[in-house]
Structure formats: structure tokens, C-alpha cells
Amino acid sequence: VLSACVLTIILGCIFGLKPSCSRDVKTCKGRCFERTFGNCRCDRDCVKLGNCCLDFQEACIQPEKCGTYTPNMRPVYPTKTFPNHYTIVTGLYPESHGIIDNKIYDPHRNASFSLKNAEKFNPQWYQGQPVILALQRVDNIVGMLMDGLKQMNLHKCLNIILLSDHVDYQHVTRQLTCIDPDQHFKAFMKEFLPKRFHYVSNDRIEQVHFYLDPQWQLARKPSEVKYCNGGFHGSDNRFMSMQALFIGFGPGFKFKTQVDPFENIEIYNLICDLLGITPAYNNGTHGSLNHLLKNPVYVPRHPEEESHPSVYPLLKTTSSLDIGCSCDLAGLPIRDFQQQLNHTASEDLRKDTKSSYEALFNSNIVPMYHEFKVLWNYFYDVLLPKYTLARNGVNVVSGPVFDYDSNGLYDTPEKVKRLTRDPEVLVPTHYFIVLTSCKNISQTPLQCEGALDALSFIVPHRPDNSESCARHKHDFLWVEERMRFHTARVRDVELLTGLSFYQDRKQPVSDILQLKTYLPTFPME
């Protein structure tokens, strides 16, 4: 497969150096980015030369006119160049493939990695299995490649993906401050970072991490501040200014189709499906991008249930032991008759409709820090009714998370007991909430037969609220800010809890996976 890809690029370059046959063609349809020399051109140079075909803007610049695209693709955190490049070709988070930044220190090897030193050629830095091992000078050959494919009549036979690793934003600040409650950075132990970052489980990631607001950067001294008059990257991968490009064009992609944003860890599985090869293990959710393809080749399925409710019916209601006493039941009031007390669910259990509200009191079942209850209660008493009113009702599922090794995956009971100090009292590391509503807000969640909307949170369970500078803020605005900061995908909740949501829905599993992997972005403030 790799040899075929290399051969295609070489042939594209060879044929691309030759001018196309001169024909009286006045349209860019089917000719986008070709370097042809006729009455009008359809490559980007035509804008500078002033000889573009009349439909160049419509046919070639507007992506919805050609292939499948998304308004923005979410890079992984940190939104740096090399971590995202390697994520695209492996489908792994930086914590999984090891390229956690453009500059890395490995404490086990006592070695440093950067794009400027020879260590970048050492294969020990690169974990995971990339789908393409080397990409060089891509920007300079795209035009020649397209022209060559056109001349060989292959432009309608190959699938082409154009994407970027991240987007830079301008006007980076010249100063930092941390002397007031409105400081523009926060220091985190890495295990308290949002779970959506997936930026913990690698020894190359340092213990202390600084999170910065948009348009801010942190340096030890002024001389180390970079790009003050240009672009900058590395910020929260949910910022709109950090979103990347994705356009898919070719016989495998749908035509004139816009899709919701997705994360670039999903690209690897997409490429493997287009190439007809089996993907290696990765952090993507295979099948979540089936809606981009004309004819998906992989059909996902819901995971099978691994555990079932236990039933222990009471077979005998009287004791077989002779306890030396007896009494005549005749004439006794009914309250004194023997009562059957079953402590496990019976097979014909009829659930009380009011029992669903008992989930609101799970703080009585698992330990919860007093200061955390302030956040938890405000969410349920104030924020949840607001969401319910805005969405015409929401389905709420919440509970504890035990992630003692901070790897973002479900901890088995055996692992929890091994890693906790007191196995008798298991204190959750996080709490999760999943809110589900109907995309058509004229219907309630119980009535909804169409697409769903989901909003999820995974909030660190901490003994204080210092993360939010809560003492200096009024009206509990800090609660909504923190909940928003710790939003997550439904898929992240599943990975941490071992649960599987929405198995009773009638929609195709690929549509459900699209919902589970969706994470809303927010504008830069």
C-alpha cells in the first residue's frame, strides 16, 4: 500500500511538470488546483495572475461545492504541530504515542527531543504505528499531483484528504499577571486537567501543567516569550481559534456534504477504511466517521453487556430450625403476621416511577467532599433546571468515577483496592454527568424518535474549590465556568466507567458513535 502511495505521488509530480493539452476550457469543474494553461486557470496562482476561470471561487474555494468537509476539525491537546501530525497518522492521543510536545524530555532515557536536534531520528521516541511513515514537501506538490492525476484520468478514482494540524491565533499578549482573582493562567497537577485532554498517562508529561486563557502565553522570563507579533498554538483544543481544516474529496467521500466537527484521532481509522486495511489499536472510535463515506466498509456494533443484575429469589419463607417456641396465629391482627423481607430484586420486580429521583442522592451512597457538594448542589438546584427548560426536558445520568491511575480508563475493583490507601472507603476521583435531550426540542427525551443531543461533564472530585478562585467570585458563576471547563465526550464517560449509553436507540450504531464522540467548541472570550 505504501509503495502504491509513493508511486502515485511520483507520477503526479512527473506528469504535473508538464503543461496540459491546450483546450478551450472555461470552467473549473473537475479542474480544481490543476496547473493547466488554457484560456483560464484553476490553481491558486490564477488569483495573482488574474486569469482565473469565472467559476474558480465557487468550484474550488468553497469546500461545500466539492467533497465532504467540516467547518472545523478539533486537534488534540496540546495544539502543537508535531503531536497533532503524529496523532493524525496513528489515531492515538499524545499521551499514547509519546510525542507530547514539540520539545520533550524523557526521564527514563535522560534524553531531549526537538525538531532541531538529531534525536528526532531516534525511533524510540515514536510509539504507535503510523499509517504513513514519511510525508515531505506536501504543500509544494499538491498542485502538480492533481494535474498529473487529471492527465492520467485518475482524479475520479482516488480519495484525497486535505487537513491541517491546528490553526494559529494572533495578538498574543506581552505580559502575564497572577496577582488577582482574574489571572489568566492556572496551575494544575496533570491528573486534574480536563479528561477531554487525554494528557496525563505518559511519563514524558510533567507533573505540573499551566493552563492559559486565549491570547496568553507563559514564560520564565521575557526573552523566552515567542511569536508576540504573529501566531501561536498549543492552547485548549476546544478554542475556536485552534480548530483545524478537513476536506475529503474522491470517490469514497460524499459529495457537497457538511458534517459536524470531529477530533483528528478519528482520521486514522478513516484512512484505513479508504485503503481497505485493518487499523492497528488506536484511541479513535471506529465507525464514528461513517457518515463521511458513500459506502462505509466497517459496520460498528454496540458492545455486549458483560454483567447482569443478580437475582436471588426467596424460595422458602419459614425457618427450618426448631427455635423452641410457637404461637397460635389465630385472632392476631394482620400486622403481626410473618412478613416476607426480600433484600434482592425478584424476577417480577415492578419499578416505582419515583425511584429514578433517588439518583440525586448518590452523595449518600459514595463519599463526597463538603466543598464539592457546594458545586454539586448548585448544579442540580440551579443549572439543571435551566438546561431542562431550554431543552424541553433532559435525561440525567450521573455517578462516581474511579480513575486512581489517571489513565482515563475504567479501573477494575481489584485495581481500585490495590491503588487506594483505604480499600474500605473508596473515594471517587471524579463525578460524571450525562445530559441527553432531543435535537428536536419540540419533543421531550421520552418522546424523541429522532436524533439526540448530549452534554457531558467529568468533574474532578477535589476537597476544595481553589481551581475556581471561588472565594473571590460572587453568585456562584464559578460553578458554571468550572462545569464548562470540564465538559467531555460521552465516549470519555464510557471509557472511565465501563458503561455503554444509548443501546436502546433505533438509529444506526454509527450515528450513535457520532453523538458519543461529539464535543462542542466555544468562541474565544
pLDDT in tens, 61-99: 665 556 676 666 777 777 777 777 777 777 787 777 778
Q: What is the pLDDT of residue 401?
A: 93
Residue 149 lies in a domain: no
Q: Write the pLDDT tens digit of every residue in 171-205.
A: 332 333 334 656 777 777 888 888 888 888 877 77
Residue 456 lies in a domain: yes
Residue 277 lies in a domain: no
Residue 446 lies in a domain: yes
What CA–CA distance (Å, rounded) separates 113 from 94? Answer: 14
Q: Which residues of the chain have pLDDT under 50?
A: 1-23, 131-139, 166-179, 336, 345-346, 349, 351, 353-363, 524-525
Note whether 163 and 245 are within 8 A (CB): yes
For the chain, what is the domain count?
A: 1
Angle at 441 between CA 439 and CA 445, to 5 degrees: 75
Residue 478 lies in a domain: yes
Q: What is the pLDDT of residue 15?
A: 40
From the centroid of its chain, how far is CA 520?
10
Q: What is the pLDDT of residue 358?
A: 45
What CA–CA distance (Å, rounded) separates 502 from 504? Answer: 5
What CA–CA distance (Å, rounded) separates 357 from 315? Answer: 31
Cis peptide bond N-terminal to 78, omega within 30: yes
Catalytic residue numbers read: 81
Q: Which three cell numbers stand for residue 365?
A: 451512597
Residue 56 lies in a domain: no
Residue 401 lies in a domain: yes
Pairing of strands 68-69, 257-258: parallel
Residue 42 lies in a domain: no
What CA–CA distance (Å, rounded) separates 267 from 517? Answer: 13
Residue whose cell numbers read 489571572: 183
Residues 6+ apart with CB under 8 A from 220: none
Tell me the CATH number at 504. Answer: 3.40.570.10
Domain that residue 449 falls in: 358-516
**What does each C-alpha distance from 407 to 95, 172, 403, 425 come to in angstroms?**
9, 32, 7, 21
